[in-house]
Amino acid sequence: MDAADRPYDVLVAGGGNAALTAAITAAERGAKVLVAEAAPKAMRGGNSRHTRNLRTAHEAPTDVLTESYLVEEYLDDLIRVTGGKTNEHLARITIEESAQMPAWMHERGVRFQRALGGTLSLGRTNPFFLGGGKALMNAYYRTAERLGVDVIYDAEVTGLEIEDGHFTAARLRHRGFETRIEARAFIAAAGGFQANLDWMEEAWGPGARNFIIRGTPYAKGTVLRLLLDEGFEAVSEADQCHAIALDARGPKFDGGISTRLDAVPFSIVVNREAERFYDEGEDFWPKRYAIWGRLVAKQPDQIAYAIIDAKAEDLFLPPLYPPMRAETIEGLAEALGLDPAKLRATVDAYNAACMADGPFDTTIHDGRATSGLTPDKTNWARPINRPPFIGFPLRPGITFTYLGVKVTEDAAAVIGGKPASNIYAAGEIMAGNVLGQGYLAGIGMTIGSVFGRRAGQGAARHAGN
């Protein structure tokens, strides 16, 4: 029988972590579930297939995490990075339930690797998926198939039939053909809108055309737009997102984690005018990398350049693309397309301001600051004077957007101040409830997992009534 003719209890829009978590949960409760994934099979799994870990609370060391990470500390961390822009009730639910997720995921085929040391310092807080997000998504698809979940690929939800907040059917474009699918409940797990450059331009202005989208090109926000147009309540803002500085030479979409550049704390970063614009040594890189996307986005032409010398080359992860190199600052400026005299003047001023003489130490805030610059570099400042001189072009790399639909603790989408009777949301499409701004590494997958389960439970419960 064709998928379009079968009666479904639950229709899930999306094919990433949130969607599959919801689909599996609903199917385990006896619901007949259809997953509609906009991407073709080879690209299924959205941004989730690029991920490596999720952040989970725990009271004692586990087989994959060290020490403890208590709910209150996790919540404090979240409130700090969001500047309080979080729904504390939903945040607490997310964090308390995060403790259950590794075991739940393991039972459904996901494997974790032992706690990692190294520069990311996440061994206490974030279990890492063995094989990364791709292996996680493959495990979930296998589990879903075993439970009898139907999956259609190349199937974009393009319309929703909703009356008085009640869902009856969705319209889909499936391999180029229009189709209509009825279900008793609908779960929106279709990600953010970061790959929709028209929408990004509405939020950011024409500069958005210069952004690089780190993940799936299928996150166009179609379902989010449909729900907001239908009158569902919004959370966060259209220009709030997770954005990092990426190698400008990376692919426009889907480059994943490999084009990230970690040179900033050991560099000076200049804009197109060869001028510095922010303190590169403000804090350790894991605490600052997520602000540099926005910083670069606000520069002319949304481009910047990290400049180092031979002393700094081995201090960060090797870049994917070879950097520009030259024996002189002027030569490097030419290779990067910058004004040689201006870059020379900026480097000279910086070098002259490197007055601190304590030991250079990348493992602490070494306090080696410049003096008298605007802005000063407050740690790890050393003169850039040993050739070859090395430069990397940087662009804003958008990970995911935060504008979403408001949900209740049961993951029900909210319309007219009330939960919809049979419409749920999970993952990036509602992450803004918890993440109004800022970011805490690994919480994207945690939000999708916790609310994916809750959406699956709610939808199955509704379908069973």
Chain positions contacting ligand FAD, by CB under 6 A: 13-19, 36-39, 45-48, 50-54, 156-157, 189-191, 214-216, 218-220, 222-223, 256-257, 399-400, 427-428, 442-445, 448
DSSP 3-state of 125: coil
Q: Say which residue the tokens 């009534």 belong to.
A: 465
Q: How far is the CB of 87 from ligand FAD (least distance, A)?
A: 17
User: With respect to ligand FAD, which residue has the nearer C-beta, 175 or 418?
Assistant: 175
Query: What gap in Å lies between CA 327 and CA 307, rounded to an integer?
Result: 13
CA distances from 367 to 280, 281, 289, 351 (A): 13, 9, 19, 16
Alpha helices in 83-193 (DSSP H): 88-98, 101-107, 132-146
Query: What gap in Å lies between CA 454 and CA 434, rounded to an integer?
Result: 15
Q: How far is the CB of 53 from ligand FAD (least distance, A)?
A: 5
Of 184, 207, 208, 176, the C-alpha closest to 194 is 208
Count of CA atoms in the C-beta half-sphere (13 A) of 295: 21
User: With respect to ligand FAD, which residue has the nearer C-beta, 156 or 262?
Assistant: 156
Q: Residue type at 266?
A: F
Q: How far is the CB of 414 from ligand FAD (least distance, A)?
A: 18
Query: What gap in Å lies between CA 210 and CA 301, rounded to an integer?
Result: 7
User: With respect to ligand FAD, which residue has the nearer C-beta, 368 or 406?
Assistant: 406
Query: What gap in Å lies between CA 455 and CA 224, rounded to an integer?
Result: 16
Residue pair 54/100 in contact (Cβ under 8 Å)? The answer is no
User: With respect to ligand FAD, which residue has the nearer C-beta, 75 or 270?
Assistant: 75
User: With respect to ligand FAD, which residue has the nearer C-beta, 45 or 165?
Assistant: 45
User: With respect to ligand FAD, which residue has the nearer C-beta, 223 or 369?
Assistant: 223
Sign of CA dihedral 322, 326, 329, 335: negative
Q: How far is the CB of 36 from ligand FAD (least distance, A)?
A: 5
Count of CA atoms in the C-beta half-sphere (13 A) of 146: 11
Q: How far is the CB of 241 from ligand FAD (least distance, A)?
A: 11
Q: How far is the CB of 257 from ligand FAD (least distance, A)?
A: 5
Q: How far is the CB of 14 from ligand FAD (least distance, A)?
A: 3
User: With respect to ligand FAD, which residue has the nearer C-beta, 181 or 420?
Assistant: 181
